[in-house]
Amino acid sequence: MMRSLAALLLGVLILVGGGHPALAGPVEWIEVPTTAAGQQWWDRGSIREDRQGMRTVLSRFTPAASEDGDQPNGSLYVMQLDCGQSLYRDKQVNGIPRFRSEWQPAGDDGLIDAVIDAVCSETLPS
C-alpha cells in the first residue's frame, strides 16, 4: 500500500513539474488548519506558475473519521489556482486527469480557502 502511494505521488509530482522529473522538488507538506470536514495539506515544492499566471500545487485531503470511527482514505489532487479571483479547479485526482474541470470558488470550504490563501501568498523560487 505504502509503495503504491509513493509511486502515485512520484507520478503526480512529475506531472506537476510539466513532465520533467528534475522539476519535481522535494516534498514539503504544509498542513492548513483542520476543519470538521477533515485535514488538508499542500506541497511547497510542487508550486508552479503557468504562462497565464495561474498556480498549480499538489495537495492531499483526508476526510474526518466517521461517527463509527472508520477513517476514510485520503486523496491526492493537483489543484490549479486563480489567485486574483480566489478560484480553483482540480486538474488531477489521485493521478487521473480532469480535462474539463470547472473553476469554482472555495465557498464554505475552509480547507480549500486556506490552501488558496497559503499557496497564493507563497513566494515562488526565482
Question: In the predicted model, is pLDDT for residue 95 greater than 60?
Answer: yes
- Number of Cβ within a 10 Å radius of residue 95: 14
Half-sphere exposure of 76 (CA within 13 A, CB side): 21
Number of domains in the chain: 1
Which DSSP symbol is given to 28?
Answer: -
Determine, yes or no, domain membership for 82.
Answer: yes
Residue 58 lies in a domain: yes
Residue 39 covered by a domain? yes
Domain CATH code at residue 28: 2.40.128
Residue 22 domain-assigned? yes
Give 33-90 pLDDT, tens digit per residue: 999 999 999 999 999 999 999 999 999 999 998 888 777 899 999 999 999 999 999 9
Question: Is the residue at 45 inside a domain?
Answer: yes
Judge whether 62 lies within some domain: yes
Q: Which domain holds residue 7?
A: 2-121
pTM score: 0.77
By the 10 Å C-beta count (0-12 exposed, 13-18 middle, 19+ buried), 45 is classed as middle
